[in-house]
Amino acid sequence: MTDKIESIVGSIKAGFSAGEYKFRGEISLLVKPEQIVEVCQVLKDEHNFQQLTEQTAVDYWPEQKPRFHIVYKLRSLDDNLIIGLRVPLNGNAPTLPTIEGVFKNANWFERELWGMFGIHIEGHSDLRRIVTPYDWEGHPLRKDYPLGYEEVQYSFNFDEIDLRKPYAKE
């Protein structure tokens, strides 16, 4: 099992000049954003990774290069393998090509990336916020987005606070 994943990692590293990250027996490949669609396609077609298991992001603010890492996990059910992909993205308003054409369930994962991290997904068929309301401002899972600090509205001061409240208006 480990030989097989090593050979897959080796071929992707050679083909796409990708980096490698190993921790606790998990292997991840560091892939450039412009290559991600092709890497996914190769992994799916040639190495039998049938499912996109996980797609999420990590924000390394205040660092800018890279600010985000997009984390993918692809699973091969036949060979019982799992491989990670990490895509570094620079800057505060990054863009990432969609892998919806390869794995269909990337649709909602990528909508979540847009809503929660503000990562613009290029070529996405339906780029709306998914778990936050459609008129929500800001991207809550970014590290520079405050947790809390919202004034509590009671019945006696509801209207007063409502006037100056920045988010979550009806």
Contact set with another protein (CB under 8 A)? 23-24, 26, 50-54, 56, 58-59, 71, 73, 77, 80, 82, 84, 103-105, 107-108, 125-126, 128-135, 140-141, 145, 147
Indicate the residue among 38 and 127 with the shorter CB distance to another protein: 127
User: Is 54 strand, coil or helix?
Assistant: strand
Check: CB of residue 74 under 8 Å from CB of residue 101: no
54 CB-near residues (< 8 Å, 6+ apart)? 71, 72, 73, 109
Of 15 and 19, which has the nearer Cβ to another protein?
Answer: 19
Taking 3-state DSSP, the helix, strand and coil percentages for the chain, each rounded to the nearest 5, stand at 30, 25, 45
Bond preceding residue 97 cis, omega within 30 of 0: no
CB of 54 to another protein, least distance (A): 4
Nearest approach, Cβ of residue 166 and another protein (Å): 16
CB 160 to another protein: min, Å:
25
We find the least distance from the C-beta atom of residue 90 to another protein, in angstroms, to be 18
